[in-house]
Amino acid sequence: MRVFLVEDDCAVAASLEALLAGWGYDCRHFGSGEAFLDWDKDPPACILLDVRLPGLDGLGVLRAYRQKDAHTPIIVMTGHGDVSMAVDALKHGAQDFIEKPFQADDLVARMRSAIQKAEPDIQCREKLDRLTPRETDVLRGVVAGQQNKIIAHTLGISQKTVEVHRARVMDKTGSRNVSQLIQIALRGGLQVDANT
């Protein structure tokens, strides 16, 4: 399982990488928040994010990352924490907040818990990733509560084509009904335009 570590202190990063490798995690280190935010490949199972970073601080990185990924669990780490910082981190989407120095088994237990809690959202996102762009467009209409004929008109396709795409979406996501489909879409992070 892959973990991203956003930490500017090379000694701390090396220590954490060795620790995580010992627990069976594949760790990728980023020395700054900007380097981490520039990464656009597959997301990890969990992110360990230091608060004190050069340039954009950890809380700024957290806010920016949540704009593109609302589901990957993030654990914020700091050696200089206070209650207001912890509240701010949790309010902006961190799953946990841990103060340095910490015990290795405590960190790993918190990571496992965060990953386990996020697993349903990750599974939903993987289901959405199976959809074609057109199927995703149809799904957005369904989530917005539109009837098939409105979706068809909006997308410039026939109502029959919408029905075919909708059936494929139901099949690919394993949804038994529209309510379940909407839950999968929302938990998977589907972005729906307010005007849709």
pTM of this prediction exceeds 0.75: no
In-domain check, residue 125: no
Distance CA 17, CA 3 (A): 9
Looking at the structure, do residues 41 and 115 belong to the same domain, yes or no? yes
Looking at the structure, do residues 21 and 85 belong to the same domain, yes or no? yes
Virtual torsion, Cα 81, 92, 20, 55, nearest 10 deg: -70
* 28 vs 69, higher pLDDT: 28
In-domain check, residue 40: yes
Domain that holds residue 148: 130-187
Looking at the structure, do residues 16 and 106 belong to the same domain, yes or no? yes
Looking at the structure, do residues 45 and 89 belong to the same domain, yes or no? yes
In-domain check, residue 196: no
The enclosing domain of 155 has a CATH number of 1.10.10.10
Q: Are 73 and 117 in contact (CB under 8 A)?
A: yes
In-domain check, residue 66: yes
Does the pLDDT of residue 57 top 90, yes or no? yes
The b-or-e profile of 146-164 (16+ CB within 10 A means b, else e) is: bebeebbebbebeeebbee
Number of domains in the chain: 2
Backbone angles phi, psi at 97, to 5 degrees: -140, 120
Looking at the structure, do residues 143 and 162 belong to the same domain, yes or no? yes
Residue 62: the pLDDT is 96
Share of the chain above pLDDT 70, in %: 98
Does the pLDDT of residue 176 top 60, yes or no? yes
What are 89-111's pLDDT values in tens digits?
Answer: 888 889 999 998 899 899 999 99
Residue 132: the pLDDT is 97
Looking at the structure, do residues 106 and 17 belong to the same domain, yes or no? yes
Residue 195: the pLDDT is 60
pLDDT level of residue 150 (50, 70, 90 thresholds):
very high
pLDDT level of residue 119 (50, 70, 90 thresholds):
confident
